[in-house]
């Protein structure tokens, strides 16, 4: 498969509607980028879970998923499952985030996600980050809304295993959920790996992508 690289990636924005969304959807990708680029700036925004156990979990988890990074995390207190009713607050938070950073990559939920909080946040991201590459991550769940991804980030076996270990280690409040287990996370990564001729991978959706095929110095295309 043709690979598009980002050798000059200066910063990353990662957003989630809930604590653990970012880690579930893009934890392996964050680990891969941060290990390869010490000091990478990562601006993260989570809309709910602030002020309690969930925020503490999220801060510890994202610090582990972004080793050596310049991590700047904000966790808000919007009520879980009610984002559409708090649209103005969510939009203001996203716009404030955009004013603070100009990333090379944005990691966000997919616009096709069946969960209303995920879907609402996804729609906000493309209005605020209009000139950025926005990759929509996937979260396996009861709704059976997994689709056909358009982009893949291969994960080494070490990274895939590390992601699962960190999810189990840092989100104790979620361990009681029947879907929150090693088989679910590693199984999806294995399937996405098969689809891109790798052992493991995380998959993303993107609705718009501009290519630069005229500048050899960027080394944008590999293999």
Look at residues 63, 25, 51, 23 and name the one whose alpha carbon lies nearest to residue 168.
Answer: 23
> What pLDDT is stored for residue 217 in this prediction?
55
Per-domain residue ranges of the chain: 10-215
CATH number of 10-215: 3.40.50.10320
C-alpha angle 127-33-26 in degrees, rounded to nearest 5: 55
* Edge-to-edge strands, sheet with 151-155: 70-75, 41-46, 11-16, 105-109, 134-137, 200-205, 151-155
Cβ–Cβ under 8 Å, residues 188 and 149: no
> What pLDDT is stored for residue 150 in this prediction?
92
C-alpha angle 163-19-164 in degrees, rounded to nearest 5: 15
pLDDT in tens, the chain (223 residues): 677 777 778 899 999 999 999 999 999 999 999 999 999 999 999 999 999 999 999 999 999 999 999 999 999 999 887 878 888 999 999 999 999 999 999 999 999 989 999 999 999 998 999 889 999 999 998 888 998 999 999 999 999 999 999 999 999 999 999 999 999 999 999 999 999 999 999 999 998 888 878 876 544 434 3
Residue bearing tokens 């990353």: 12
Cβ–Cβ under 8 Å, residues 139 and 167: no
Question: Residue 111 belongs to what H/E stretch?
Answer: none
* Longest alpha-carbon distance in the chain: 52
Q: Can you tell me the distance from the alpha carbon of 122 to that of 17, in angstroms, rounded to the nearest whole number?
A: 9
pLDDT in tens, 173-215: 999 999 999 999 999 999 999 999 999 999 999 988 888 788 7
> What pLDDT is stored for residue 10 in this prediction?
82
- For 17-160, strand residue ranges (E) read 41-46, 70-75, 105-109, 134-137, 151-155
- Cα dihedral 127, 72, 75, 169 sign: positive
> What pLDDT is stored for residue 50 in this prediction?
93
* pTM reported for the whole predicted model: 0.92
Cβ–Cβ under 8 Å, residues 25 and 168: no
């Amino acid at each position: 498969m043709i690979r598009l690289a980002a050798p000059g990636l200066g910063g990353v924005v990662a957003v989630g509607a809930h604590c653990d969304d970012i880690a579930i959807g893009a934890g392996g990708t964050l680990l891969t980028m941060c290990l390869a680029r010490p000091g990478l700036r990562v601006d993260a925004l989570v809309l709910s879970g602030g002020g309690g156990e969930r925020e503490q979990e999220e801060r510890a988890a994202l610090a582990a998923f972004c080793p050596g990074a310049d991590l700047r995390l904000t966790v808000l207190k919007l009520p879980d499952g009610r984002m559409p009713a708090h649209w103005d607050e969510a939009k203001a938070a996203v716009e404030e985030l955009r004013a603070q950073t100009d990333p090379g990559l944005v990691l966000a939920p997919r616009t096709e996600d069946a969960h209303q909080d995920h879907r609402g946040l996804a729609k906000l991201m493309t209005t605020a980050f209009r000139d950025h590459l926005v990759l929509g991550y996937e979260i396996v769940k009861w709704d059976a809304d997994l689709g056909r991804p358009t982009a893949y980030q291969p994960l080494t076996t070490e990274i895939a295993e590390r992601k699962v270990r960190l999810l189990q280690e840092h989100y104790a409040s979620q361990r009681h959920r029947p879907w929150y287990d090693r088989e679910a996370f590693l199984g999806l990564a294995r399937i996405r790996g098969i689809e891109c001729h790798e052992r493991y991978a995380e998959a993303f959706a993107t609705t718009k992508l501009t290519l630069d095929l005229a500048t050899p110095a960027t080394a944008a295309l590999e293999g």
